[in-house]
Amino acid sequence: MPESHTVLLVSNHAEIVGGGELSLLSLVEALDRSRWAPAVVVPSEGPVAAGCRVLGIPAYVVSMPSLRPPRLTAIRGVATLRRMTLETRATLLHANGSRAMLYAGLAGLLARVPVIWHVRVADPDPGLDRILLRMAAGVVVNSQAVLRRFPPVSAGKVRCIYNGVDLARFCPRSPSAQLRASLGLPYGVAVVASVGRFVPYKGFAVLLEAADVVRASRPDVHWLLVGDGELRGELERQCRTLSLDTQVRFTGWRTDVADLLALADLFVLPSMSEHFGRVLVEAMALGKPVVATDAGGVPEIVVPGETGLLVPPGDATAMARAICALLKDPARSAQLGAAGRRRVEAEFSLARHVAAVEALYAELLDAGPSAV
What's CA 47's distance to the chain center, in Å? 16
Whether residue 185 sits in one domain with residue 145: no
Structural domain includes residue 295: yes
Structural domain includes residue 171: no
Per-block average pLDDT, block size 10, for the chain (372 residues)? 84 87 94 96 95 95 82 88 96 96 96 97 91 96 95 86 96 96 94 96 97 96 96 97 96 94 98 94 98 96 97 98 97 98 98 97 81 55
The total of structural domains in the chain comes to: 2
Whether residue 360 sits in one domain with residue 343: no
State the Cα–Cα distance between residues 111 and 90, nearest whole angstrom: 10
Residue 4: per-residue pLDDT: 87
Query: Measuring CA to CA, which residue among 297, 293, 303, 301 is closest to residue 323?
Result: 293
Taking the model in full, what pTM does it have?
0.92
What number of residues does the chain have?
A: 372
Residue 1: per-residue pLDDT: 43
State the Cα–Cα distance between residues 99 and 138, nearest whole angstrom: 16
Say if residues 117 and 357 touch (Cβ distance below 8 Å): no
Whether residue 326 sits in one domain with residue 287: yes
Whether residue 22 sits in one domain with residue 86: yes
Structural domain includes residue 172: no
Residue 16: per-residue pLDDT: 82
CA distances (Å), 43 to each of 114, 282, 343, 351, in order? 21, 28, 36, 28
| Cβ burial, residue 310 (10 Å; 0-12/13-18/19+) | buried
* Helices 232-241 & 204-217 angle (0-180, nearest 10): 20
Q: Which amino acid is at 29?
A: E
Structural domain includes residue 170: no
Whether residue 181 sits in one domain with residue 130: no
Structural domain includes residue 169: no
Whether residue 342 sits in one domain with residue 356: no
| Cβ burial, residue 332 (10 Å; 0-12/13-18/19+) | middle
Say if residues 194 and 269 touch (Cβ distance below 8 Å): yes
Sign of the torsion formed by the C-alpha atoms of 151, 142, 97 and 135 = negative
Report the CATH number at residue 160: 3.40.50.2000
State the Cα–Cα distance between residues 320 and 208, nearest whole angstrom: 10
**Domain membership of residue 93 as a residue range:** 5-164+349-371
Q: Can you say whether residue 184 is alpha, beta or left, with left for phi > 0 and alpha for psi between -120 and 50 degrees? A: left
State the Cα–Cα distance between residues 281 and 166, nearest whole angstrom: 10
The three-class DSSP label of residue 48 is helix
Whether residue 362 sits in one domain with residue 260: no
Please list, in sequence order, all residues whose beta carbon lies within 8 angstroms of the beta carbon of residue 221, skipping any fewer than 6 positions away: 189, 190, 191, 192, 211, 214, 215, 247, 323, 327
Q: Which amino acid is at 202?
A: K
Residue 70: per-residue pLDDT: 65
CA distances (Å), 45 to each of 21, 38, 53, 57, 326, in order? 14, 18, 11, 14, 44
